[in-house]
Amino acid sequence: MMDWTDRHCRFFHRQLAPGALLYTEMVTTGAVIHGDREHLLGFDPAEHPVALQLGGSDPDELAQAAVIGAGFGYDEINLNVGCPSDRVQKGRFGACLMKEPELVRDCLAAMREVVEVPVTVKTRIGVDELDSEDFLHGFVATVAESGVDTFILHARKAWLSGLSPKQNREIPPLAYERVHGIKQAFADHTIVLNGGIVDVETAVAELDRVDGVMLGRAAYQNPWILAELSARLGLPAAGSRRAVVEVMANYARRHIENGGRLQQIARHMLGLFHGQPGARSWRQKLSQNMHLPDAGPELLFEACPSLPVSANKEEPATVEYGVDRAG
């Protein structure tokens, strides 16, 4: 989710599902240590609970970055061992690290040593020719020696050459049974399933087999699924899309007053009315105007479909909803 789940996207998603654990886009250790930390790591307190996802392969640098992240107030530090992109491989992190389970173990152990917040790992179920059940079980067993007990498993293997990142999300077949097998073998560990979950029914069904589900691009393309899933699980959820627009307009106003642009926020909201009457008009009006220099929060209201909320039968019943929560 690099370049996607920035702080504005996370604030938007928080309005949909107040209790969901949100993750940052992957940030490299070098950027955290040497870059503009406020720009890279700053976030609104309303985003809690939120996890910082790191990319790196040097235990000392990961430990240093974890300390910095914890200092910013993140609720969890996550190591990404699943991204297959070329630029990630060149930095010797992401999915290529699956070939070095002992190094992953040492990286996570170094991170756990220096922070009190939970340290977790996100990975694939295999990489290149290393895609057997035995390999995955051995990988998890080795990595677990670090003391990390939460594994987010993308239920596809990764090909490090020959496939683009997009193809790596689509071509390798999903193998949920591999993730189920890990949960059975490591019953005391928290196992979270990622990959291919595009509807509430699938997510709810998988929660009978694993401890959690992670939604990535499905939640970005159809954000309302976060509210639907939260409501289905009896958790706080947004009451209506219209209410979310109102909150985001106020958020955009503050951002613009501080020198920001509407486009930085509105680009994450294009899918809010996915599948609803007026969705196409919403996308078009935002896409055509949000980049203009004078675009302001009023554009969100102008683009908002006029269909009464009561006529929208896909809106879940209003559940506890609020944005002014202490971090």
Q: ∠ CA(289), CA(293), CA(298), 5° rounding?
A: 55
Q: Residue 52: phi, psi to the nearest 5?
A: -90, 125
Spatial separation of the C-alpha atoms in residues 147 and 3, rounded to whole Å: 30
Residue where one domain finishes, among candidates 232, 257, 280? 232
SS3 for 150?
strand
Identify whether residues 161 and 13 lie together within a single domain: yes
Catalytic (active site) residue 83: yes
Q: What CATH number is associated with residue 137?
A: 3.20.20.70
pLDDT for 325: 27
Residue where one domain finishes, among candidates 197, 232, 267? 232
- DSSP strand pairing (150-158 vs 119-127): parallel
CA distances from 89 to 56, 99, 115, 144, 164 (A): 10, 12, 27, 23, 12
Identify whether residues 178 and 245 lie together within a single domain: no
Domain count, the chain: 2
Identify whether residues 258 and 182 lie together within a single domain: no
Q: What is the block-wise mean pLDDT of the chain (327 residues), using blocks of 10 residues?
A: 86 98 96 96 97 97 98 98 67 83 98 98 95 97 98 92 71 93 98 96 98 95 98 96 97 97 98 96 98 97 74 40 29
Identify whether residues 226 and 246 lie together within a single domain: no
Identify whether residues 224 and 289 lie together within a single domain: no
pLDDT for 319: 34
Burial (CB < 10 A; 0-12, 13-18, 19+), residue 17, is buried
Contact 327, 14 (CB under 8 A): no
In a domain, 137, yes or no: yes
In a domain, 2, yes or no: no
Query: Going by C-beta distance under 8 Å and a sequence separation of 6 or more, which residues neighbour residue 327?
Result: 45, 46, 47, 48, 73
Complete DSSP assignment for 76-117: EEEEEE----HHHHHTT-GGGGGG-HHHHHHHHHHHHHH-SS
SS3 for 169?
coil
pLDDT for 30: 95
Identify whether residues 41 and 154 lie together within a single domain: yes
Identify whether residues 269 and 287 lie together within a single domain: yes
Residue with tokens 């209003």: 318
Please identify which of the residues 9, 83, 96, 107 carries the catalytic annotation: 83
In a domain, 208, yes or no: yes
Identify whether residues 99 and 225 lie together within a single domain: yes
Q: What CATH number is associated with residue 265?
A: 1.20.120.1460
- Among residues 10, 14, 7, the alpha carbon closest in space to that of 38 is found at 7
In a domain, 327, yes or no: no
In a domain, 97, yes or no: yes
Q: Distance between terminal CA atoms of the chain?
A: 24
Identify whether residues 259 and 125 lie together within a single domain: no
Residue where one domain finishes, among candidates 232, 261, 296? 232
Identify whether residues 219 and 174 lie together within a single domain: yes
Q: Residue 234: phi, psi to the nearest 5?
A: 75, 20
In a domain, 317, yes or no: no
pLDDT for 310: 40
In a domain, 85, yes or no: yes
Identify whether residues 12 and 142 lie together within a single domain: yes
Identify whether residues 126 and 220 lie together within a single domain: yes
In a domain, 319, yes or no: no
Quote the domain boundaries for residue 217: 7-232
